[in-house]
Structure 1
């Protein structure tokens, strides 16, 4: 897949897309769109404090760590974005209101204000298209070698949002295709460890299932988006507990579907 050249990223920046375990043989393809809080050199700090740049507005804390543990447990390929969603949210299509935010929760983002259409397009060319294009390529590679693909995206969310505590601990999200989500919710029912809910704290109406809708729905691939409350995965011990729970949940649900 070819993309237009862009000079938005400089020689000081890495490729926006990271791929780990590309030769993994398991059916799950893991995607972490909000893995990093790193900013490309060209945008500086976007006018934000270090506290803001370390907060959830910049990334999904703990999501990459959990994704890596899942990749190891499930023998899964993992694709993640190396730059912050503050520059471009790769789980939103170009032109969507949430793709480049000039306000996120209580934070103004000065470096995103009054961008021209050309500036927005440059960010999409540099970050969004290579990222989503690499996912598409991986799915084709897997199909060509006869490997099943189950698309699973991993995110985290804050325990308090606009001053309101969130009771949900793990969200199992889906768009029109709920096959895998249904099985996972059944398997999690009464688990005694985590409060697991459907399409919480977000759902498809919030635009969060873009990656699933783009790649999985047209091809009828099994798919799910997992949201984990980030206070549960702010330590290595917590990450291992949650990853172990999710590994069991995914493995059992996929076995049940294949029966």
Structure 2
């Protein structure tokens, strides 16, 4: 199974990444769950893939989208993270992941995905990495609170892009979370590895999934985010190098 699909675009600018773009389960893997569970937020970031595709088309930017469900292996976790291959996710048991060969799944799915992403970054040398995710308005377990944010900007130590994005989004009248609904200092694996480790500015964008669950919502957020990402990229770019 191919672990990633690619959208071509102009090098040297913005690279879009969507780690949780797919709810697909590779042949030979049985998670032991009802198919409908794969359509929930635990199986896929609802709306994230269509938004990534829309932004890539509007910006002329390349993109990397994963082709495997996060219930098979979460590509946005460190290899030693306990949730890398979940046996329970938001209260739902994933019995097919009990006792599996963790190293085999890493070797066949996780490692090739991150190698492909690394190769694309080396070839295009982007100014800005943008990881697109979505979050559920409320977790199903532990009486989780209603999450009020429309969009969250996640970052770890490198705040260059986040500090530019937050006021630009707030100026649109949006309810914006700074490292909400969870902190990028805790969950930022892909950008820690491919952004911060290489000195490339990066942000993870989390949009509440009820806002991008259909084409109308995707179009709205594409219209909001595309010019903001160009503005961030331009402010980060070396002098004399500006995107349009």
Instruction: Indicate whether 1:122 and 2:104 are aligned.
Output: yes
- Normalising to structure 2: TM-score of the pair? 0.92
SS of residue matched to 1:247: helix
Structure 1 residue 90: Cα displacement: 0.6
Distance in 2, matches of 1:225 and 1:15, equals 24
1:200 pairs with 2:200: no
1:42-121 → structure 2 map (5 Å cutoff): 42-44=28-30, 46-115=31-100, 119-121=101-103
1:34 Cα deviation from its structure 2 partner? 0.4
Normalised to the residue count of structure 1, the TM-score between the two structures is: 0.86
Give the match's secondary structure for 2:68.
Answer: coil
Task: After TM superposition, give the deviation of residue 62 of structure 1 in Å.
Answer: 0.5
Give the number of equivalent residue pairs.
Answer: 235
> Do 1:171 and 1:198's aligned partners in 2 also have CA atoms closer than 8 Å?
yes
Do 1:28 and 1:151's aligned partners in 2 also have CA atoms closer than 8 Å?
Answer: yes
Of 235, 238, 241, which residue of structure 1 is paired with 2:217?
238
Give CA-to-partner distance per residue, 1:132-157, whole Å, 9 cap, x none: 111111111124xxxx3311100000
* 8 A Cα contact 1:57 1:104, kept in partner: yes
Q: CA RMSD for the aligned pairs? A: 1.5
Matching of residues 35-46 of structure 1 within 5 Å: 35-44=21-30, 46=31
Partner of 1:5: none
Gaps of 5+ in 2: 240-244
Secondary structure in 2 matching 1:202: coil
Deviations 1:120-174 (A, max 9, x none): 111111111111111111111124xxxx331110000001123421101100111
Q: 1:257 to 1:140 in 2, by over 3 A?
A: closer
Structure 1 residue 50: Cα displacement: 2.2
Aligned mates of 1:88, 1:224 — CA distance in 2: 22
- Of residues 115, 122, 139, the one that matches 1:133 is 115
Q: Deviations over 1:62-102 (max 9, x none)?
A: 00000001111111111011010111101112221110110
Structure 1, unmatched stretches of 5+, are 1-13
> Structure 1 residue 225: deviation in Å?
0.3
1:232 positional shift: 0.2
Q: 1:171, 1:227 within 8 Å by CA — same for their partners in 2?
A: yes
Contact 1:172 1:199 (C-alpha < 8 Å) held by counterparts: yes
